[in-house]
Amino acid sequence: MRTGVAMIAIAVTFTGVVAPTPPVQAQGLLDALFKSPAQRKREQAAQERARQKVAAPKRVKQVRISGPSYHRYKPDTLVQVAFSEIADPVVTAGIDDMGLAPLGIDAFAEGRPALAELSVRALPEVAKAVIDHYSVHPDYVWVAGTAVTDRARAVIEVLDAADTVGLSAADYKVEVPADAFDVTQGTERQKELMAFEMKLSVAVASYILDATRGRVDPNRISGYHDFKRKSPDLVKQLEALSKADDPAAALLAQNPQGAHFEALTAELKRLQDLDDVARIEIAPNVMLRPGQSDPELANVMAAIEKKGSDALKTDHALLFASYAGKPEYDQELVALVKAFQKEAGLKPDGIVGPATRRALVGITNEDRIEKVRLAMERARWLPGVLASRRVFINQPAYTATYFDEGKSELSMRVVVGKRSNQTNFFDDEIELVEFNPYWGVPQSIIFNEMVPKLRSDPSYLDRLGYEVTAGGKRVASRNINWSTVGRSSNIGVRQPPSSSNALGELKILFPNRHAIYMHDTPSKSLFERDTRAFSHGCIRLQDPRAMAAKVLGSSVDEIGSHIAGGQNKRVELTSKIPVHVAYFTAWPDDSGKVEYFADIYGRDGYLRKAIDATEDARSS
């Protein structure tokens, strides 16, 4: 007992504590006195870790990268032509209305004062070009003496026929002065001829501009269109026309040249000469299966009778004669529908759905005329003369065609972007072919499709064999906190060459800001489908080796040898080849026959609105 008391006394003396302490403080004192060195070391380490601990990363909201959008079209604005810049403000002598001296040798100079009162609106480029031309060449182009020239009349015939090449004659309408006039009214005749001269030059320059580049700026329609708008030298063109032996032919030649535009022009005339026949309407959402009952069946029967071949109608003549409009879809009617489906190249399953409805309803002549007109407008966005060696991809047709010396040498099926990942419409040049390619995953796929999976399964990409980089350094996907990854995270993903690589054996590159190219694919079955809009925007080729051989000027066997080694390899073309990633719902085949295709992205409607807005702006 004395020993315990003595120890407490010593402890109190040692600490210098003479006053009573609260219980908690006393307990802390005892802990400090009796803890082992190891315990104290562990506590100090824990305290140090707490000080150095970084706040937990903040979870970032899921990022989604959206594609381009469609716009409300804003047409070009017309401006007043500044004729005052070329009008002569000084009249040096009075004009004698009793004679025609002012219409003599220097008639243009005598008539310039009349320009101060002339009011004409035009596109800005046209307005400037006309003033620039007459500033340098102050003379009549379309008038001689007191009359309109034959050259002018020939040019006006081209302007009046603008509808035949997909333009609008109303945009270039010029009233021609009558041949007969009162010779005592020299001043008025002079004004009339000067106004005609300027209005015709404005109309001609406007036609040149529209025929060359189109009336619509495609880039204002949507972010899916990517064209540098053409800027023809209108001053040079006006001068050339003024000196041309045949100005009418020279003016007409401003339209796209080549077999494709000739075919569209011929098709437009053919359609306009036909009598339009009203089509039979079938409800857009029809879905009729054998054994069901639907009042739309009567319209289906009427459409088959109209669209079916003579042989089909002969084989089922009794059924057509006895059908009284009943809604019950019985086996006899199913057999008729199957026969029509087989004839139309459809799966003969007897189900009346979207594909069968399209085949039954078809399109009217007016519908075709609209498609051809839109095709002629789009053709103006392409080069005026297509290169003799080129690759032409038509998205609505799901085809890619290689041309050499202007002739089709290879054509194949393709898969294009789905509606949510539309393929862009643009021109470029093929530069190289990459064999056993890496697939650099686009940021839109990384954030829209991969990151949501990686947040719950960080090892997802590791298992698939994808390479991941963060800030340019290679990392394992499992070591990234994907919940904190956002647009500024600088994450890259690529798939190494392999038999399962999304790009297959090769890709054909024409570097562009849309990251679109042609490539192989492991998903070969999609080429058997009629509708082939399944990709993220790139062009999948049915026969990539054949296309690679054409663009490289080699053989399919040589292409195979590049692939056989399994190594990633790039081969540059000896000369670049133009490629048109195009969108035409009407386009001629190799024989010149115009074919029609479904508007898979709805772009016809947007172009029609743009043309309507343009016509409204020009007529207001």
What is the domain-level CATH number for residue 453? 2.40.440.10
**pLDDT value at 187 more than 50:** yes
- Region for residue 279 given its phi and psi (left: phi exceeds 0; alpha: psi -120 to 50; beta: otherwise): beta
Query: Which pLDDT score, from 0 to 100, does residue 25 have?
Result: 53
Tell me the per-residue pLDDT of 349-358, one tens digit each, with 9 for 90 and over: 999 998 899 8
Cα 237 off chain centre by: 30
Share of the chain above pLDDT 90, in %: 75
Mind spelling out the 3-state secondary structure of 590-604?
CCCCEEECCCCCCHH
The average pLDDT across 506-528 equals 96
The DSSP call for residue 141 is: S
CA distance 406 to 395: 20
CB-based contacts of 277, cutoff 8 Å, min separation 6: 364, 365
The DSSP call for residue 530 is: S
The average pLDDT across 176-190 equals 86
The average pLDDT across 280-300 equals 93
Closest CA relative to residue 192, chosen from 180, 206, 205:
180
Tell me the per-residue pLDDT of 333-370, one tens digit each, with 9 for 90 and over: 999 999 999 888 788 999 999 889 988 987 788 899 99
Q: Are both 320 and 402 inside the same structural domain?
A: no
- Considering 37-51, 177-191, 334-348, the range whose residues carry the highest mean pLDDT is 334-348
Provide the token pair at 196: 């005609």
Q: Is 65 contained in some domain?
A: no
What is the domain-level CATH number for residue 328? 1.10.101
The DSSP call for residue 293 is: B
Q: Is 443 contained in some domain?
A: yes
Whole-number Cα distances in Å, 10 to 4, 28, 99, 567: 10, 18, 142, 83
**SS3 assignment, position 286:** coil
Which of 14, 34, 52 finishes a domain?
52
CB-based contacts of 388, cutoff 8 Å, min separation 6: 403, 404, 405, 406
Q: Are both 165 and 312 inside the same structural domain?
A: no
Q: Is 286 contained in some domain?
A: no
For residue 390, report the phi and psi dihedrals to the nearest 5 degrees.
Answer: -165, 165
**SS3 assignment, position 404:** strand
Provide the token pair at 31: 């802990």
* Integer Rg of the chain from CA: 38
Question: 87 or 129: whose pLDDT is higher?
Answer: 129
Question: 500 or 130: whose pLDDT is higher?
Answer: 130
Q: Is 369 contained in some domain?
A: no
Give the burial class of 137: count Cβ atoms within 10 A of its Cβ; 0-12 exposed, 13-18 middle, 19 or more buried.
Answer: middle
Q: What average pLDDT does the structure give for the chain?
A: 89
How many domains is the chain partitioned into structurally?
4
Whole-number Cα distances in Å, 330 to 44, 281, 288, 350: 88, 22, 11, 11
Query: Which pLDDT score, from 0 to 100, does residue 280 have?
Result: 84
Confidence band of 126 (pLDDT split at 50, 70, 90): very high
CA distance 451 to 483: 8
Question: Which of 133, 260, 514, 538 is an active site residue?
Answer: 538
**SS3 assignment, position 197:** helix
Q: Are both 319 and 418 inside the same structural domain?
A: no
Query: Which element (helix H / strand E) includes 506?
Result: strand 506-509
Q: Is 370 contained in some domain?
A: no
CA distance 412 to 402: 9
What DSSP line would sit under 82-122, residue for residue? -GGGTS-----S---TTS-GGGSTTHHHHHGGGGGG---EE
Q: Which segments of 381-423 are extended strands (E)? A: 390-394, 399-404, 407-417
- Greatest CA separation for the chain: 152
Question: Which of 225, 316, 519, 580 is an active site residue?
Answer: 519
Q: Are both 460 and 397 inside the same structural domain?
A: yes
Q: Is 466 contained in some domain?
A: yes
Share of the chain above pLDDT 70, in %: 89
CA distance 12 to 321: 122
Query: Which pLDDT score, from 0 to 100, does residue 58 have?
Result: 67
Q: Are both 358 and 429 inside the same structural domain?
A: no
The DSSP call for residue 70 is: B
Query: Which pLDDT score, from 0 to 100, does residue 481 have?
Result: 92
The average pLDDT across 235-259 equals 97
Q: Are both 452 and 599 inside the same structural domain?
A: yes
Q: Are both 259 and 162 inside the same structural domain?
A: yes
Tell me if residue 514 is catalytic: no
For residue 68, report the phi and psi dihedrals to the nearest 5 degrees.
Answer: -60, 165
CB 21 within 8 A of CB 30: no
Q: Are both 349 and 485 inside the same structural domain?
A: no
Query: Which element (helix H / strand E) includes 574?
Result: strand 569-582
Q: Are both 536 and 426 inside the same structural domain?
A: yes
**pLDDT value at 96 more than 70:** no
CB-based contacts of 418, cutoff 8 Å, min separation 6: 533, 534, 535, 536
CA distance 289 to 312: 21
Query: Which pLDDT score, from 0 to 100, does residue 18 have?
Result: 42
Tell me if residue 519 is catalytic: yes
The average pLDDT across 133-158 equals 96
Q: Are both 510 and 397 inside the same structural domain?
A: yes
**pLDDT value at 13 more than 60:** no
CA distance 392 to 401: 5
Q: Are both 203 and 312 inside the same structural domain?
A: no
Residue 159 has, within 13 A of its CA and on its CB side, a CA count of 25
Q: Are both 121 and 204 inside the same structural domain?
A: yes
Q: Is 391 contained in some domain?
A: yes
**pLDDT value at 379 more than 70:** yes
Q: Is 71 contained in some domain?
A: no
CA distance 321 to 450: 59
**pLDDT value at 2 more than 80:** no
Cα 238 off chain centre by: 32
Domain boundaries, position 340: 297-362
